[in-house]
Each structure stands twice: as C-alpha cells, then as structure tokens.
Amino acid sequence: MEEIKVFSGRNSSVLSQSISAYLGMKLSNCVYKTFTDGELWIKYNENLRGCQVFIIQSINSPAENLMELLIMIDTAKRASASNIIAVIPYLGYSRQDRKDQSRVPITARLVANLLERAGADGIITMDLHTPQIQGFYDINVDQIYGSSLFHSVIRELHIDNLAVVSPDLGRLKIARTYSKILSAELIIIDKNHTANDKVEILNIIGNVKDKNVVIVDDIIDTGGTFANSVYALKENGANDIYGVCTHAVLSGNAISLIENLPIKKLYVTDTINIKEISDKIEIISAANIFAEAIKRTSNQRSITTLFDV
C-alpha cells in the first residue's frame, strides 16, 4: 500500500491541523519562504517517491494562495510522488465560469488548466459555485457538500414553522434538498444584477409571512446580496431569519454589515480562515468530512456515501 503524506499550504494551516488530528497523523514537513521580491519557494523535508500526496490549500484571494498550491503540486510531482490530490476546500475563481459578456475571461477553466498542468491527479473540493465546473477538468473532481454539516445544526434548533430560502435560482437545487430533509416549505428569491453590479430583488416566490426562515447559499462575499435578501424577507413578514453559507469570503465591510442585520445567526464553515468574527456568525468545522474524504480516497472507497445530497 502506498504511503500517505498530507501537506498544508499556509492559507489553510488551521483547517489542515484539524484534518490531520481527525486522521490521527501529523502534517508532513514542508518549508516555505517568500523572498523579498515576493517570489515563493517551497521544499518538502520528506521523501515523496512513490507516495500518495494530499495538499490542502484554499485558493481565495490573494492570488499567491493559488500560486503556492501550484508550486507545491509541481514540487511533489518532481519529487516522484505517485499520486497527487489537491484538497481545495474553497476553489476560488469559480464564479467566472462562462462568458456572460464580450471580452471577459473564463477563469474557472483557466484554474482547471493550471492545476492539471502543474501535475494534480485529482481534486477534492466543497460546494462548487456551479456543478458544471467539474466538466472543465480532465482529472477526477470529487465535490463534497456543506449541506451535510448544516442539516443537523438546523435540526437541533427545533425551529417551528420553518421555510428554506434559495437566494437565487442557482441555489434552487440545494435549497430544495434542505426543504425535503427538514420538511420545510421552499421559498425562492428572484433577483437581478443591475448595470452597476448592484442586486435588485424582483420578487419573492412563496409566502414568508409569519415564518421562520433559513437562507441557504454557497458564498457570502461582500454580504450585499445576503443583506438584501434578509431585508426583503423582513419586509414580507418573515419572523426569525437564519443563514447557512459554506464559503465565508467576507470581504470589505461584510462583517460589520452582518452584525447589523436583523438575523438570529449565520452559520459558515472554515473552508476559508476567518480572521475577524462576529457574535452573529458561528463556524461549523468541515475538518471531519474532509478528513473522511481523504481517508476514503486513499483506500479507494466511495466518497458519495458520505452525503445526504
């Protein structure tokens, strides 16, 4: 059986420590340097020849996080690792997955090309922005689902008169799954992106009056869309409002915006290391499910059976 080595990029060091603890093994030894001009240098302090290597790194901003992952993959390949799996809890640049106007990039495809060219043999990630991104890769992409973490959290709240809200049509499939598992009504928010990149709520499909609601989303970036959804639901008579979100990008003044929203709680995972936190935000660790996915991949077992979705 191939020896397993698990490494962490600097951007996911906290999550990686939790994953390795669940696996009952220490993270393998790697040295990182950033030269004065900003160039990155990496050295593995362990023999990788013939080993199965897992490299954990989210590739949210800055772009150096992506570059570091690419260098780590390339270095492992040149060190004769037999199989290299990039564990990317948050796969950045996934929102740019098509040409919705002239002369714009499809960076989701570009990142796929870079990861494959660097030498990755497979990807493990959580909650892709759109499922079709898997088709950009010629290597295997295993997507695991944040919903498997949030279902039990919502159940334990014992919320009466519950409705699940999809903040846009893109989240409809996953929101429908929540509504079935939680035996809750499904509400859809119809929104439109205006020319100046603002979000306009056009319509709420379903009756939220006097209901307690859970907004289900994959990414909260600036928090503007989430805030607009909360205010629209309140204006239409919703009572207590909760949110669940897999990837808490939380750029700009998102934290302070969320603190001032009329919500009970926003539940997020630790796919992105949150440096600042609010009393209204609670982190649910994804370490155990990533660790189990790594264990099953190394043993050539199915990952699909991990999930409700």
| Positions marked catalytic | 191
Residue 213's SS3 state is strand
Sole residue written with tokens 């220490």: 26
Return d(Cα 104, Cα 52) in angstroms, integer: 37
CA angle 22, 25, 28 (to 5 degrees): 125
Return d(Cα 220, Cα 225) in angstroms, integer: 8
Return d(Cα 51, Cα 44) in angstroms, integer: 13
Short-list 61, 25, 82, CA closest to 295: 25
DSSP H or E run through 122: strand 122-126
Contacts 24+ apart (CB under 8 A), 17-23: 18/270, 18/285, 18/287, 19/56, 19/287, 19/290, 19/291, 19/294, 20/291, 21/287, 22/287, 22/288, 22/291, 22/292, 23/291, 23/294, 23/295
Q: Helix and strand tally (H, E) in the chain?
A: 8, 14
